[in-house]
Each structure stands twice: as structure tokens, then as C-alpha cells.
Amino acid sequence: MKPAPTLSTAFLHPAGQALPEPLLALRKQRGAALVDMPLPTRKTENWKYSSKYLKLTDEMASSLPINGKAGSALAVPGYKVVFINGMVIPEACEYPDLNNILIQRFGDLSDAEASELAERLDSTLDKKAVQLAGLNSARFEDGLVIRLKPDAVLDQPLFIIHEVTAGHSGSAFPRIFVDAGRNSKITLVEEYISSGQEAVMVNTVTEFNLAEGANVTNIRLSMDGENVQHIGATGVLQQRSSRFESHCVGFGGPLRRHDLQVRLEGEGAECKLNGVVVTQGTQHYDNHTTIEHVAPHCDSEETYRNIAADKSHAVFNGRIHIHQDAQKSNANMNNKNLLLNTGAEIDTKPELEIYADDVKCAHGATIGQLDEESLFYLVSRGISRREANVLLTMAFINELVAQIPVDAVKDTVQTHLNQFFDQTFQEA
């Protein structure tokens, strides 16, 4: 047997020393743990369907330099932070200077603040399950920390634009850490975009800590180009009566992988996870979600929809884990998939792992195609076949798109969906 390939040492040389000492130390320590890390293979359970899409060449190991400010020009209906190639661009950012909401770059933190942060980085993630997110911890060159004091409410959504400029091969490691205090409230929009043509990797980690009663909405829009391998991890820790809402909308690429891990640690915490994935051509998208019910009386609701066209490949793996003391848990997971062409592939695995008896848990998964009879009904009323296809496909995901709470994001999603419809459904 061939020995499993390990992570090339080329990836273990972080650039950018402009960080406070505690963070540099953390980075070094995390890097040491990655020496000889085996890369996922088909036999790696949580990379079973995606490992063959992962192509890390040594050319991609270097950090991308900062050049160009394309993303910074983007107008957004709210506050804005711009990352280019993993670095925050202060001059492109627009957000108010508030007493109770602190938005800071990692590089601007005092040593005391940085060492406090270093303690808490990675604490929301199950490191074993997100092996490749470890790379972010070893390589991040900058990051954003958002701290909401108790009762602080950000009045407009905060847009975080992540852009990679792929002038040449390399990687970017943007990182966000959110600490939402008691009864605070924020809507955070992450948009991932790219320019340039060379093969690059974006490796992101976003972490949320929700104190009692905090309310966080996270929208994640993945719109990177065909040259970008995107590996992202989001970790969420929820205390008593907090509420987390996530909307992930993703368009495929050579490799798209997102791990979303939520731990409900306080009684009465609640989370709602929505996801829409659209793939075409030979694209790939893989969503892995985990919801851990640690405390009793928590609710979770998860709805993911995948659409795969042409020869593309969409993967969903949802796991609900109810711990022994999490009585009266309520968990619902639903994954529906639309396979538009033979040749495309959908793999789904909705898992339940339950150790408490007084719970209500259900999951459902389906894979199917557009209903011929519905198509016929529409066509027989004079609607063109293409239009009928678009209507029915849109209907499949509209429920989720309509729930996105920021209108501007909804419009962006619709624009991308229309492009997808144009390429997928030709006029007969």
C-alpha cells in the first residue's frame, strides 16, 4: 500500500510578521502540529467525496501579495470591511467608531488583547473534524476581531468582502472572530469573490461566540471563480437563550468545502441553518454541518437544498449529535436535492447520533428531478419549456432564498441564479 500523502512542508512557512507576539506564537505552535499531517483521501470519512478535488501544489503554498483594490470599490448597503488576499485593507473599510462595538484588525491589538484572543482562537471548532482549517491557524497573516459589549446592537449589516486576486498561484488565509456579548445583536455578511486566473486556495475560518441572549445572523455567499479552491470552516458556540441564524449560498468551483459546526451549550439556545448550493459544469461543492445539542431544551432547524447540473458534484453531510443530558431537544434536518442531468452526482448523508431519550429528532433527505407532470402542466398553458424549467427549479430553492434577511444579498443571489439558469436551460 502507498503511504498516505502528507501536507507539503512548503505550506508550513507563514508570511507576514506584523502581528502581536502572542498570535505569532500561536501560529508557530499550530504550524508545528501540522508537520506530516496526512492529507485527506477517499478513505478519510469526512473527505470521502471531496478528496479527489483537493489539489494542493507547492506553487499554491506561498502567500498572495496585496495588489489591486477591486473589491474595495463595491458599494454595500451597510458597513464594510474589505479583506484582500487575507489582509484587511483599512482604507477600504467603512464602519462607525462605537463604544460598545469594537471592530479591530489582529495587527492593531495590544499584547494583552492579543493573548486573550490567542487563548480563544479555534475554541469553537472540533479540530479533528476540520483538519484543513488547521492550516489557517498556522498561516493567518491578519484577521478581524469583532466584539459586541452587552446589549450592543449593530444597526446595519456588516459586510465583509473577501477578495483574492489570483495574479499568480498562492493562498490566502482570512480569519474572523466574533464575540457577541449578552443580548447583543449583529448581522454579518461574508462575501467571497475573486479576480485573476491562476490556481489559488482560500482557507477561511470564522468563529462566533454567543453569550446569553445574543442574536447573530450570518450570511455566507461563496462566489469565487473557477480557479479558486475554497476551504472554509465556521464554528459557533451558543450560550443560554442565544440565537444563531445562518444562510449559506454557494456556487460551485473546482473545490468548495464548508464545515459549519454549532454547539448549543446553554439551555434554550436555538439555531437555524439554511443552505443553497448550485453547481454546473464539472464543479464541486461539499457542505458538512454538525449541530451538537449539549444542553437541554435547545432547538435546531436545518434546511439545505442542492442543485447539480451537467457533470457537477454536490455533497451534503449533516450531523445532529444529542448529548446524554440534552433532554427535550428538538432537532430537525432536511436535505433535498435536484439532479438536473445524468452525469451529475449528489451524495448526501444526514446523520443522527442520539444519547438522550426525551427528544424529538427527525431528518429527511430526497434526491430527484423536476416533475414531468408539473412541466407538462406549465408547457400546456403556453409557457416555454425553458421558462417552465426555470420556474420549477427556482421554486425548489425559493423558500430559502426568500428567507435571506438582507435584500441586497437576495438580489446578488438572484443575479447569479439567473446566470445559472441561462447556462443550464437552453431554449428548445
Partner 1 sequence: MATTEQEVNELIKREYEHGFVTEIETDTFEPGLNEDVIARLSAIKKEPEFMLEWRLKAYRRWLEMKEPNWAHVGYPKIDYNSISYYSAPKRKEDMPQSLDDIDPELLRTYEKLGIPLHERAQLAGVAVDAVFDSVSVATTFKEPLAKAGVIFCSISEAVRDYPELVQKYLGSVVPHTDNYFAGLNAAVFSDGTFVYVPKGVRCPMELSTYFRINAANTGQFERTLIIADEGSYVSYLEGCTAPMRDENQLHAAVVELVALDDAQIKYSTVQNWYPGDENGKGGIFNFVTKRAACIGKNSKVSWTQVETGSAVTWKYPSCILRGENSVGEFYSVALTHNYQQADTGTKMIHLGKNTSSTIISKGISAGKSSNTYRGLVKFGPRAEGARNFTQCDSLLIGDRCGAHTFPYIESLNKSAIVEHEATTSKVSDEQMFLCRQRGIDPEQAVSMIVNGFCKEVFKELPMEFAVEAGKLLEVSLEGSVG
- Residue for cell digits 476540520? 130
Nearer to partner 1, 45 or 226 (CB): 45
What Å distances lie between residue 205 and 116, 229, 361, 383, CA to CA? Answer: 18, 14, 29, 45
CB of 345 to partner 1, least distance (A): 5
- Specify whether the CB–CB gap between 175 and 140 falls below 8 A: yes
CB of 315 to partner 1, least distance (A): 9
What Å distances lie between residue 279 and 334, 406, 427, CA to CA? Answer: 19, 23, 20
CB of 369 to partner 1, least distance (A): 5
Nearer to partner 1, 200 or 314 (CB): 314
Q: Is 13 helix (H, G, I), strand (E, B) or coil?
A: coil
Phi-psi region of 413 (alpha: psi -120 to 50; beta: other; left: phi over 0): alpha
DSSP secondary structure code for residue 311 in this structure: T
Instruction: Report phi then psi at 410, rounded to 5.
Output: -55, -45
Nearer to partner 1, 94 or 347 (CB): 347
Using CB atoms within 10 Å of the CB of residue 382, give its burial: 0 to 12 exposed, 13 to 18 middle, 19+ buried: exposed
Give the separation between CA 137 and CA 92, rounded to whole angstroms. 25
CB of 2 to partner 1, least distance (A): 13
CB of 134 to partner 1, least distance (A): 22
Give the separation between CA 203 and CA 231, rounded to whole angstroms. 5
For the chain, the 3-state helix, strand and coil shares in percent, each to the nearest 5, are 25, 40, 35
Phi-psi region of 183 (alpha: psi -120 to 50; beta: other; left: phi over 0): left
CB of 178 to partner 1, least distance (A): 32
- Specify whether the CB–CB gap between 273 and 260 falls below 8 A: yes
Nearer to partner 1, 342 or 380 (CB): 342
Nearer to partner 1, 17 or 342 (CB): 342
Nearer to partner 1, 110 or 369 (CB): 369
Binding site for partner 1 (CB under 8 A): 45, 324, 327, 337, 339-369
Nearer to partner 1, 146 or 339 (CB): 339
CB of 282 to partner 1, least distance (A): 14
